[in-house]
Amino acid sequence: MHLKGLTRRPPRTCSLTPGQDLPKSEHVEYPRFNPHPPQDYDSLDIPQTLVVDLMVRRLMLEGFSSIHSLCDSLKLSARIIEQTFRHLRQQQLVEVKGMSGNDYQFVLSQAGKQLASDRFQVSQYAGACPVSLKEYSQAVRAQTARVRIDRTSLRRAFSDLVIRESLLDQLGPALISQNSIFLYGPSGNGKTSVAERMLRVYGDYILIPHAIEVDGQIISLYDPVVHEAVQADHPDLDPRWVLCRRPCIIVGGELVPSMLELRLDDSTGIYAAPLQLKASNGIFIVDDFGRQLISPRDLLNRWIVPLDRRVDYLTLRYGVKFQVPFEMMVVFSTNLDPRDLADEAFLRRIQNKVLIECIDGQSFDAIFDRVAENRKIITGPASAEALRRLCQRFGSGELRACYPNDICSLLLSISQYENRPAEATEENLERAAQLYFARTEMPITPHGGF
């Protein structure tokens, strides 16, 4: 569930042993919100006309269908599908072609096809029936995260990182509070790695609807790229909801204002939920904060009310504005000075500010040993110390958590180029370090070239 710009990818790692990840917890809690399948239009809480539209559009796509098939496609109970089918039959919008056991087999009539064609001009949505905005808001509030952690459990959650106890002791209270977090400090020390692993402190599942209905419009919410569905047999659960792990969405420099607003697809007539709505009940990480196309001031102004009041306001294309819960932990990660990015009024609303500093020699050596062992690089007793001296010599003088992993990657490339085993000798390490670090002085030829 670690995502950047909605593309599934492995976590970007600084002090993580490559390829290592913690197993999913076997002891999880199921959602406190547990809706049962509605059996009539009153409990469905959306307009009957919307259900009719969904059904005729689905029939147009399937051509030949049945009560059972429509129940599966629209995620509605047989009672509601049968009631809608009788309505369509009375209006001579469907034609029964036969029976399969106790199930009707039917198609759209000519009048039904015309109605479906007309409704397709308005919207092409023909998937799972949406839930009402009211029910969605209740669900989000009911599924607000409650974190129960201590030093031991937090250390286990971050066990694949070399991380100081003092940093864990800052992260623990911040995660328990579930308020926004500002991670800052020099680049290459694991801010993104730390942020991505915060999701591990949750030990429960949540329910996310396929879609939401607002003022007769449909907003698509469940996204299999963003949301990790959990296979579970819950016959009494409303199938319009999907059981998922809490989401974690990461955006970086590609973030633009439109990603934070409803987006209407003119060709389909379906609204796409903004990123923060997809991150509800989970974590929203703004990585490399201050380097987005949207200015820090504009982003902070957009979110100053949601962060303060836990509600957001979205607007449909034709001007209807509505309120949705803003229940998530927002994590800002930056290597810039926070005072250059936000004023005091906004920083006050981000109660947790955690400095991720450069690492000490002991941590540096531990990271190198982990990485080298995982990459099967031959090391000697002085390899870590040699790399440490090289990084201080060629770099800025500080030790950063990303150096061992990056240098070891270059060692592997060098060994493959020369068709020999990767070995962390002082000569090989210096060769990799010279390749890795930019030179501050470049030789100039008498003719002015390099």
The whole-angstrom separation of Cα 299 and Cα 184 is 17
- In this prediction, residue 253 carries a pLDDT of 85
The residues near 74 (Cβ < 8 Å, ≥ 6 apart) are 51, 54, 55, 58, 81, 127, 128, 129
State the Cα–Cα distance between residues 217 and 211, nearest whole angstrom.
10
Q: Which CATH superfamily is domain 2-34+135-355 in?
A: P-loop containing nucleotide triphosphate hydrolases (3.40.50.300)
Q: Where in the chain is the domain with CATH 1.10.10.10?
A: 47-127
DSSP string, 97-164: EEEETTEEEEEE-HHHHHHHHHHHHH----SSPPEEHHHHHHHHHHT-------HHHHHHHTTTB---
Question: How far is it, in rounded angstroms, from Cα 343 to Cα 347?
Answer: 6
Cα separation of 118 and 105, whole Å? 23
CATH 1.10.510.10 fits 47-127, yes or no: no
- Supply the CATH classification number for the domain 361-436: 1.10.8
pLDDT digits (tens, 9 = 90+) for 318-355: 999 999 999 999 999 998 888 888 777 778 778 899 99
Number of other residues whose CB lies within 10 A of the CB of residue 174? 21
CA angle 61, 65, 67 (to 5 degrees): 125
CA atoms within 13 A on the CB side of 195: 35
**pLDDT, position 297:** 82
Beta strands 131-132 and 241-245 are: unpaired
**pLDDT at 293 (0 to 100):** 82
Report the SS3 class of residue 356: coil
Return the half-sphere exposure (C-beta side, CA atoms, 13 A cut-off) of residue 412.
13
The pLDDT assigned to 447 comes to 55
Quick one: pLDDT at residue 29?
Answer: 65
State pLDDT tens for residues 157-173. Answer: 999 999 999 999 999 99
| pLDDT value of position 8 | 34
Q: Is the pTM here over 0.75, yes or no?
A: yes
Contact at 8 Å (CB) between 398 and 388?
no
Low-confidence ranges of the chain (pLDDT < 70): 1-30, 32, 233, 440-450
**Cβ neighbourhood burial of 124 (10 Å; 0-12, 13-18, 19+):** middle
* Cα dihedral 85→91→96→99 (10° resolution): 30
Integer Cα distance of 98 and 106 in angstroms: 7
Q: Which regions of the chain carry the CATH code 3.40.50.300?
A: 2-34+135-355
Tell me what pLDDT residue 91 has: 94
- Pinpoint the residues of the chain covered by CATH 1.10.8: 361-436
* Residue 108 phi, psi (nearest 5): -75, 140
